[in-house]
């Protein structure tokens, strides 16, 4: 393609966007809203990863083994019970490593747990969560078991809330993505309908259908790019105004490094562009082929 051909296509792109301002603006707004929500959900999920991992660890029963007992052997005995679904052995060092982020900037408090002071543990998953208190009582006092820790009602409630937020948030994000794709598709379909005579004339005089379609693909790319950039700025504002202050106040609960933010922002831009180009391609595919 020559430079003159591309410049001609670019002029048509600008003209097309100006003639369909309402539809183009609606496409940008819907792409922006959908992708911003996805970015915010991802950012919050990454920021709260340590917290979620900790809460998840609290909804399973944990049995601490007395010093001098074989942890592996005891776990084998426990898993033979019908009310126990599975077990997972954690050494004292592994248990301590899982708690280390709660002692950030207070490392001196960890000194009392070092040098083997932390007991080995066995994470127990019961077959029926409603029986967990009864199972805990049956295991408490068993030879070789120093202490049984099981989830309290608050931990279970918090875990359920987290899962509901993740589930419903994902559903809403998917619905908004579908709506954004549909609006973008309608916008391009409307643009094609309004310019059908122009497109027919171009094709009749020998214009390359690929070049005609390229004009609309570029329009879709631009709408997606603008929506993506706006969503990145919005998500960055959320991080700076909400998540970053919380991260500074409670670093042991929220941790989000720059690489994760870059991944989220890049994903937002890519998804937005894919929506724009995909909607444009679907809208032009049949009409340009038929004319």
Query: Using one digit for the tens of pLDDT, what is the confidence trace for 141-200?
Result: 788 888 887 765 556 666 677 777 778 877 887 887 788 778 777 777 776 676 677 777
Give the DSSP letter string of 92-112.
Answer: HHHHHHHHGGGGTT-GGGGGG
Q: How many CB atoms sit inside 10 A of residue 253's CB?
A: 16
Cα–Cα dist 246/243, whole Å: 5
| Long-range CB contacts for residues 178-183, cutoff 8 Å, separation at least 24 | 179/30, 179/34, 180/27, 180/30, 180/31, 180/33, 180/34, 180/35, 180/227, 180/275, 181/275, 181/278, 181/279, 183/26, 183/27, 183/30
Q: Which residue has the tokens 């496409």?
A: 27
- The whole-number average pLDDT for the span 18-23 is 77
Would you say residue 104 has pLDDT above 60? no
Would you say residue 40 has pLDDT above 80? yes
Spell out the domain ranges in the chain: 3-52+156-290, 60-150
151 secondary structure, DSSP code: -
- Asked if 291 and 199 touch (Cβ cutoff 8 Å), the reply is yes
- The whole-number average pLDDT for the span 3-26 is 77
Query: Using one digit for the tens of pLDDT, what is the confidence trace for 228-252?
Result: 999 999 999 988 888 778 777 766 6
Query: Which residue would you say has higher pLDDT here, 47 or 108?
Result: 47
Single pTM value for the model: 0.63
Query: Which residue would you say has higher pLDDT here, 173 or 221?
Result: 221
60-150 maps to CATH 2.60.40.10: no
- The whole-number average pLDDT for the span 4-13 is 77
């Amino acid at each position: 393609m020559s430079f003159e051909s591309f410049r001609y296509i670019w002029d048509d792109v600008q003209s097309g966007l100006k003639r369909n301002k309402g539809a183009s603006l609606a496409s940008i707004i819907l792409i922006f809203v959908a992708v911003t929500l996805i970015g915010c959900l991802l950012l919050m999920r990454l920021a709260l990863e340590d917290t979620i991992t900790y809460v998840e660890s609290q909804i399973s029963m944990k049995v601490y083994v007395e010093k001098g007992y074989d942890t592996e052997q005891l776990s084998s005995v426990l898993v033979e019970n019908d009310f126990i679904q599975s077990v997972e052995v954690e050494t004292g060092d592994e248990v301590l490593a899982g708690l280390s982020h709660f002692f950030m900037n207070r490392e001196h408090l960890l000194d009392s747990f070092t040098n083997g002071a932390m007991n080995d543990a066995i994470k127990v998953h019961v077959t029926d969560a409603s029986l967990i208190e009864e199972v805990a009582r049956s295991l408490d006092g068993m030879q070789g078991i120093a202490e049984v820790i099981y989830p309290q009602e608050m931990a279970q409630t918090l875990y359920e809330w987290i899962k509901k937020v993740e589930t419903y948030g994902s559903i809403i994000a998917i619905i908004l993505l579908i709506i954004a794709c549909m609006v973008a598709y309608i916008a391009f379909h409307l643009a094609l309908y309004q310019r059908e005579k122009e497109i027919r004339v171009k094709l009749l005089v020998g214009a390359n259908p690929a070049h005609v379609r390229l004009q609309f693909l570029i329009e879709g790319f631009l709408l997606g790019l603008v929506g993506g950039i706006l969503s990145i700025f919005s998500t960055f504002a959320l991080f700076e105004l909400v998540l970053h202050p919380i991260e500074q106040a409670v670093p042991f609960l929220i941790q989000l490094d720059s690489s994760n933010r870059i991944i989220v922002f890049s994903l937002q831009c890519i998804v937005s562009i894919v929506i724009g180009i995909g909607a444009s391609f679907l809208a032009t595919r049949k009409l340009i082929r038929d004319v």
